[in-house]
Structures are given as structure tokens and as C-alpha cells.
Structure 1
């Protein structure tokens, strides 16, 4: 009888310690890929505008999407803060119809987004959450011809609102986010909590 009580108490204490250890994982590192739809659309409109003004046509348009790495710190079981560092690029060739001269355009986007996350439902391996972020993009562009090269640098206000996020996993996990902002409409990634 005493042995059964000891085993029961040891089990309860062990479970409580295990639960506390799981809850004390306050750090999360993450990587993700997103579609960067607003940046791609902005680049397409810029190329269309330049084409209309200069009498040129655009070709070989390429956009990679956006890669991000981030960190979150859990202030409580439901609320986290952190930041994401992101990179995207786009390129195209602009051919002048009258001179046949080709301008090679390239744009790089470097983004820093401080982020807040709130978990609506957090049970077991399921974390259903939303995030809001605001920060800045450093946009670096270059136009190169056979004769010259011009570069531009701009700092632009950036934001991202993802009301729908789902992470599945304990320590290691995968996630999918949906929303709108400079990172795009959808993001897919992986994270590790410790």
C-alpha cells in the first residue's frame, strides 16, 4: 500500500515537473519562406511604368519570394515578442525599342520587423495564433547597361498582419501563416523552442 502511494506521488510530481519544464521554454527560433506578393506587384508596376515612359519592354522577370529568420521570447504562455530579418529580390531586363539597348534591373529588399504574437489556442502540440509586425525595408536597386550603372537606396515603412497562424509540434515544429503585408499572403516555415 505504501509502495503504491509512493509511486502515485512520484508520478504526480514527475508530471508536474515535466509540465513546468515544457512551459518554461521561452525562446523560439524560426525560419520561413513567404510569397512577398506586395513587393513583387510593386516591382511589376514599376517596370510597367518605366516601360511606358521610356518606350521599352520588360522581359526575364524573376522574383524569388522572401526568406526570413526570426526569434520570439515568450512573456507568458500566450504572448510573445521578437523580430524577423527578411530578404527578397527581383530582377528583369528592359529593352529600349528604338535603340535595342538592354537595361538589367535588380532589386534587393532587406527587412527588419519587430513582431508581437498572441496564441488563441495552445494545447499539446497545437498552437493557433496571430501576429502583428511593423518595421522597415531597405530597398536597394540597380540599373545597369553596357555604358553605365545607377543605384538607388530607399528606406520604406513595412508591416505584416497574420491573423491566422498554426504551428504543430513541441520542441521542433512546422507552421503556416496567412495574412497581408510586405512578407506576403502565405508563409511556411519551421521553428525550434528551447
Structure 2
């Protein structure tokens, strides 16, 4: 009796792990929210550099970074292998100090578009586990209040490395990704596969 039960459980697990949810030609559309992005790190590095180069005459404080919000479209070019295109939006703000006197506030808007790929290690009808990479371009818009003029925002190359992603559900599902880049250290949301 125990052998039959163990054999049945093993057969069921084997079927689940070998069934394909992401077959060639299928699509996935997701709405994302991410936290702790590479864009925030880039902004922080720039602040440290400016502060150091000006001998602490120009500094920033009260830095606020909102979550990054985005949409991702994925297409399966082979079983378990998907390519993606996405777009993300993020706002940040910080106070600007010149010679320890508050001069105003800088408001940043970042828009990132990216292309990437991911591979599904486990791809069942209800559960998927995957990793992936993407490269993107981030456009920056800066508006200053106060005495200083608004600087022209520059764009820069950005990236995303998803060390581990999980998707739980059938056609409509929730997902979470852990990695680093323009989507954040933690990126989560809902997706629809069709």
C-alpha cells in the first residue's frame, strides 16, 4: 500500500514538472510594482559624487523614492524560453542644500524601456519558477524649485537581473521576482497568460 502511494505521488510530481505551461507561441502580459531600483542607486551615487567634488558645498537630503510601476509583455519563442519588452515609470525627490542652506527641491521622473529574456526552470499550469535578464534605456527629467535652474536630465543605459522569479496561478496569476535593476530588488504584480 505504501509503495503504491509513493509511486502515485512520484508519478504525479513527474507529470506536473514535465507539463508545459509556457509553450512556444504563448504570451504573458503583466502589471508590475518594484522597490529599491538601480535608478535609485544611480541617483544616490551622483549625489555622493557631487557632494565630494564640491567639498560638501552642495548636498542633498530627505530623499524620497516612490516605487517603480510598469507593464511587461513576454512572448514564448520556445517552450519555457520567453523574450520580453517592458516599460517602467518612477518618481523621486530630494532637498538641495548649498552651504548648509536649503535652496529648493529636485523632482525626478524616470521612464525606462527595456528588452530581455527569461527561462522557466519549472513551468506547470499552476506554478512557474524562472530567471532572466534585461537591458533598458532610462530617460531622466529633473525639475528644481528654488534658486537653481532645472538641469537637463540625461538618459542612461540600465539593466535588470532576475535571480529568481515565481508565478502562481493559471491564466491570471500573481508573481514575485527577486533580483536587481530598473524593476527593483523586489518586483511583484499580476499577470495574464494567453
Q: TM-score range by the shorter chain?
A: 0.7 to 0.9
TM-score, scaled to structure 1:
0.78
Number of the residue aligned with 2:93? 91
Q: Secondary structure at the match of 2:150?
A: strand
Residues 30 and 38 of structure 1: CA distance in aligned 2, closer, same or farther (over 3 Å):
same
Contact 1:109/1:140, CA 8 A, preserved across alignment: yes
**Larger Cα Rg: Structure 1 or Structure 2?**
1
Whether the 8 Å contact between 1:34 and 1:186 is mirrored in structure 2 is: yes
Residues 37, 184 of structure 1: 8 Å contact kept? yes
What TM-score do the two structures reach when normalised by structure 2? 0.78
**SS state at 2:152 partner:** strand
Whole-angstrom distance in 2 between the partners of 1:172 and 1:25: 18
- In the other structure, the counterpart of 1:75 is 77
Instruction: Give me the whole-angstrom Cα distance separating, in 1, the residues matched to 2:34 and 2:86.
Output: 12
- The alignment covers a number of residue pairs equal to 174
Name structure 2 gaps, 5 residues minimum. 1-18
Aligned-residue RMSD, C-alpha: 2.6
Residues 43 and 90 in structure 1, CA contact (< 8 A), matched pair in contact too: no
Unaligned runs of 5+ in 1: 1-18
Alignment match, 1:102: 103
Per-residue displacement from partner, 1:100-156 (whole Å, max 9, x unpaired)? 3522111111101112121111123011111111121112223331x4532312121
Partner of 1:127: 128
1:187 Cα deviation from its structure 2 partner: 0.8
